[in-house]
Amino acid sequence: AQSVTQLDSQVPVFEEAPVELRCNYSSSVSVYLFWYVQYPNQGLQLLLKYLSGSTLVESINGFEAEFNKSQTSFHLRKPSVHISDTAEYFCAVSGGGSQGNLIFGKGTKLSVKP
Amino acid sequence: DADVTQTPRNRITKTGKRIMLECSQTKGHDRMYWYRQDPGLGLQLIYYSFDVKDINKGEISDGYSVSRQAQAKFSLSLESAIPNQTALYFCATSDLYRDEQFFGPGTRLTVL
């Protein structure tokens, strides 16, 4: 069975500081990995994904995540956060192929303070 | 127009009532999903469907049923609502050959 662990439920940080949101997964098959973001009172939006190829993936708004197979991790990082990054972030894993459904972590609430 | 829509957006109902939440998509995707979100628990899969004739239970299907009326429509029903079904419900879709999922805006359901 697959599972996802997000190690921090809340991460407070000051504006322009770096941030890392941690995600570890467990799976017996090769995986696809995702980070979704949920802004207040909205649905989930895909932030970035790893399917194959380069282990470092980037989003258009400055976030990046690195797939580390040996450590079974997919941590999300941003070198300098903005107030507008305040949201809840969900890490998810999919076995791909005929399975298709995502297993989500419990979420990390990022709170950026001025 | 939004690619994945959900109706209603908010609903307050009483214990024992039957409730239907509807989801429509214009993305042309075959796969559709219903999730429930509770604070601190993330998203949990209720049901999923890979095509009109295919319905599968997720991890928390008890107390829920679904209907896939067409490729574009996937409804979730609570046969007899109870207070612990108070939650935020999301519909999602994905392409047959990819695993990225696209989410609707959610339905906030309160069962009194």
Residues of B in contact with A34 (CB under 8 A): 99-100
Residue range B43-71: mean pLDDT, rounded: 93
pLDDT, tens digit, for every residue of A21-33? 999 999 877 788 9
pLDDT bracket for residue B85 (50, 70, 90): very high
Neighbours of A52 (CB within 10 A): 9
Show Cβ contacts of residue A17 under 8 Å, excluding neighbours closer than 6 positions.
A80, A81
pLDDT at residue A64 in the model = 96
Chosen for mutation from A32, A48, A101 (greatest number of chain B CBs closer than 10 Å) is A101
Please name the member of A32, A43, A106 whose beta carbon is closest to the beta carbon of B99. A32
CB A90 within 8 A of CB A44: yes
pLDDT bracket for residue B112 (50, 70, 90): very high
Please name the member of B40, B45, B105 whose beta carbon is closest to the beta carbon of A43. B105
